[in-house]
């Protein structure tokens, strides 16, 4: 079982991605049923001290917009996204058990999964696809032991502003 730290996407972007997943499902492809998000980190366990450090770190950061621009839905990576991703890992460093290397800075490929089987059929059903502009509206930690996601940031954040109202 792996705990995930995920960047929650705004409702409109999540709906667009769900629509793409529905188109892929028509082909018989297996599609994820969870809310679309970008997984920023994964570990065997993210204990309470790590969650507290994560919440403290995110309290002073602006959450960026992201473009999901290709069929596999990898995100277009920019300095803002990488900075928030690095901040997540700074907060978790030494506080989690069994971090998953694929999500560490330098190895991370931010993406939204559209289908997990029958890639040729899903690709044909989805092509061509327009880019999806998504706002990251929060960060959550999903714990398979608890069976739910816990917000690590307030539910509403103003893009481009620090949590305490200062400009980024």
pLDDT recorded at residue 70: 66
Q: Which long-range contacts (CB under 8 A, 24 or more apart) does 12-17 make?
A: 13/68, 13/132, 13/133, 13/134, 13/135, 14/134, 16/132, 17/68, 17/73, 17/112, 17/114, 17/132
Predicted pLDDT at 72: 59
The Cα 139–Cα 136 span in angstroms is 8
Residue with tokens 């996601």: 149
pLDDT (tens digit per residue) in 16-67: 999 999 999 999 999 999 999 999 999 999 999 999 999 999 998 999 999 8
Total-model pTM: 0.83
Q: What is the pLDDT of residues 71-115, one digit of tens each?
A: 655 677 899 999 999 999 999 999 999 999 999 999 999 988 899
Q: Domain 3-151 belongs to what architecture?
A: Alpha-Beta Complex (3.90)
């Amino acid at each position: 079982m792996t705990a995930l730290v995920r960047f929650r996407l705004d409702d409109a972007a999540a709906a667009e991605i769900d629509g793409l997943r529905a188109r892929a499902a028509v082909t018989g492809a297996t599609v994820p049923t969870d809310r679309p998000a970008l997984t920023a980190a994964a570990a065997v366990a993210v204990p309470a001290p790590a969650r507290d450090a994560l919440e403290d770190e995110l309290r002073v950061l602006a959450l960026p917009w992201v473009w999901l621009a290709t069929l596999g839905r990898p995100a277009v990576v920019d300095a803002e996204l990488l900075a928030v991703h690095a901040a997540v890992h700074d907060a978790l460093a030494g506080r989690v058990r069994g971090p998953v290397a694929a999500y560490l800075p330098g190895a991370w490929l931010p993406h939204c999964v559209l289908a997990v089987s029958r890639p040729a059929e899903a690709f044909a059903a989805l092509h061509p696809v327009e880019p999806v502009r998504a706002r990251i509206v929060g960060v959550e930690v999903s714990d398979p032991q608890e069976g739910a996601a816990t917000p690590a940031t307030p539910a509403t954040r103003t893009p481009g502003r620090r949590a305490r109202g200062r400009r980024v």
